[in-house]
Structure 1
Amino acid sequence: MAEIFGILNITTDSFSDGGKYLNPDDAISKGIELLQEGADWLDVSGQSSNIDAKLVTEEEEWNRVEPVIRYFVPKGIRISLDSFRPNVQKKAIEAGVRCLNDITGFTYEGDREFLKSYAKKYPELKFIIMHSHNRNIAKVKSNISPEKVIKKIQMFFRDRRNELCSLGIEESAIGYDPGMGFFLSEDPMVSFRVLQDIEILKLEFPQLMVSVSRKSFLGNVLGNLPIDEREFATLACELHLLKSKIPYIRTHNVLKLRQAEKIWNLCQEHE
């Protein structure tokens, strides 16, 4: 059974739900809803990473996520922080966050030496390395082709794994997100090639996290389908991930995925 990371964006400009949960009470209510629907983790973000996102200050990013972290951590809820800034990551770990989901793969400028002491102090910490063609907030222009994408992701994962392990982080604590949509390319077939060849990545990097939820590449191949009409396309991809036994799936609609997972498992019982 996959562990599901329920997406909780506390931003003004996330592509799917920007502006909905800026009020701490609204964010907490959404978090409770995601947990009731079956989320294993809340993946909390105070900085959007889509192609139109604007960088907020580190202080603002922390102020957005802190109330949610402070509310859920004492209740034993597992929180993942979607952030690439070391100063925000430090504060989150100290507040009880036990997974760092970094869209830059821990390449963002700043002090990363803190990871060494924090990994030793908190051995349960997880570190998600995400691949992106520009190592930052998603951009439109990319030179990655469908034929080259798997090798590029493999090379990036190996490089980042080596650095994290050199800091004393156990390999078993490292997860890997291939990035999808504009993190790879504006060409939707690049993302579909990753899904088609997901077993190749999983063979070398079994701790895969994949998020296809409502992403652009789904809408693009269906006639520029609006974001709020991409739920069925999302679920089709997520069923493919379940079939491939991907251990971590990050999604907006936890309920639909849990329902689909239950039906999928019942259909496979005697196989």
Structure 2
Amino acid sequence: MAEIFGILNITTDSFSDGGKYLDPENAIAKGIQLLQEGADWLDVSGQSSNIAANLVTEDEEWNRVEPVIRYFVPKGVRISLDSFRPNVQKKAIEAGVRCLNDITGFTYEGDREFLHTCAEKYPDLKFIIMHSHNRNIAKVNSNLSPEKVIKKIQMFFRDRRNDLCSYGIEESAIFFDPGMGFFLSENPMVSFRVLQDIEILKLEFPQLMVGVSRKSFLGNVLGQLPVEEREFATLACELHLLKNKIPFIRTHNVLKLRQAEKIWNLCQESE
């Protein structure tokens, strides 16, 4: 059974649900819903990362996510913080967050000793290394091609794994996210090549985490489907991930995935 990270975007401009959960009460209610639907983790973000996103200040990012973190952590809920800013990451860890989801793959410059401190003080902390062609908020004009993408991701994962381990972080604490959609390329076939060759990545990086939920590459191959019409396409991809036993899946619609997972598993059972 896959562990599911339920997406909770507390932003104005996330591509799927921007503006819906800025009010802390709405965000907490959404978090409760995701947990009731079967989420194992809440993946909380206060800074959007899509191609049209605007950067908010670090203070604003923290102010958006803090009420949710303060509400759920004392209740034993596992929180993953989707942030690439060390200062926000530090505050979240001190507040009880035990997973950092970094779209830059922890490539930031500056306080590298922060990682060493994490390894010493928080041995249960998890780190999600995400691959992106530009190491930041999603952009167009990628130079990745379907033929090159797997090798590029493998090289990036190896480099980042070695870097984090050099600070004393255990390899077992590191998850690997290949990034999808515009994090890879505006060409949807680059993302589909990753899905086609997902077993290659999983073989070397078994703690693989994949998020395809409502992504642009799904809409683009189906006649420019708007975000709200990508649920069936999302589920088709997520069933592919289940088939390949991807251990961690990040999604907006937890209920849909849990129901599909149950039916899928029943269909696979032998007499």
TM-score, L = length of structure 2: 0.99
Contact 1:86 1:112 (C-alpha < 8 Å) held by counterparts:
no
Query: Aligned pairs, how many?
Result: 271
Alignment of 1:243-262 (within 5 A): 243-262=243-262
Deviations, residues 43-87 of structure 1 (Å, cap 9, x unaligned): 000000000000000000000000000000000000000000000
Partner of 2:133: 133
- For 2:88, the equivalent position in structure 1 comes to 88
- The question of whether the paired residues in 2 share the 8 Å contact of 1:86 and 1:110 is answered with no
Q: After the TM superposition, which parts of structure 1 deviate over 3 Å for at least 4 consecutive aligned residues?
A: none
Structure 1 position 55 matched with structure 2 position 55: yes
Distance in 1 (alpha carbons) for counterparts of 2:156 and 2:54: 26
Residue of structure 2 in register with 1:159 after alignment: 159
Q: Which deviates further from its counterpart, 219-228 or 101-110? A: 101-110
SS at match of 1:101: strand
In 1, the alpha carbon distance for the partners of 2:231 and 2:269 equals 26
* C-alpha deviation, 1:111, in angstroms: 1.4
Identity of aligned residues (%): 90
Instruction: Report the TM-score, using the length of structure 1 for normalisation.
Output: 0.99
Question: Superposition RMSD on alpha carbons, in Å?
Answer: 0.7
Q: Does 1:14 align with 2:14?
A: yes
C-alpha distance in 2 between matches for 1:236 and 1:87? 37
Long gaps (5+) in structure 2: none
What per-residue deviation string (whole Å, max 9, x for no partner) do you get for residues 206-238 of structure 1?
000000000000000000001000000000000
Q: Tell me the CA shift for residue 194 of structure 1.
A: 0.1
Q: Which amino acid aligns with 1:85?
A: R
Deviates more, 1:9-18 or 1:104-113: 104-113
Aligned to 1:64: 64
1:234 corresponds to: 234
> Any idea what the Cα deviations from partners look like across 1:73-118, whole Å, max 9, x if unmatched?
0000000000000000000000000000000000123313111112
Separation in 1 of the partners of 2:94 and 2:166? 22
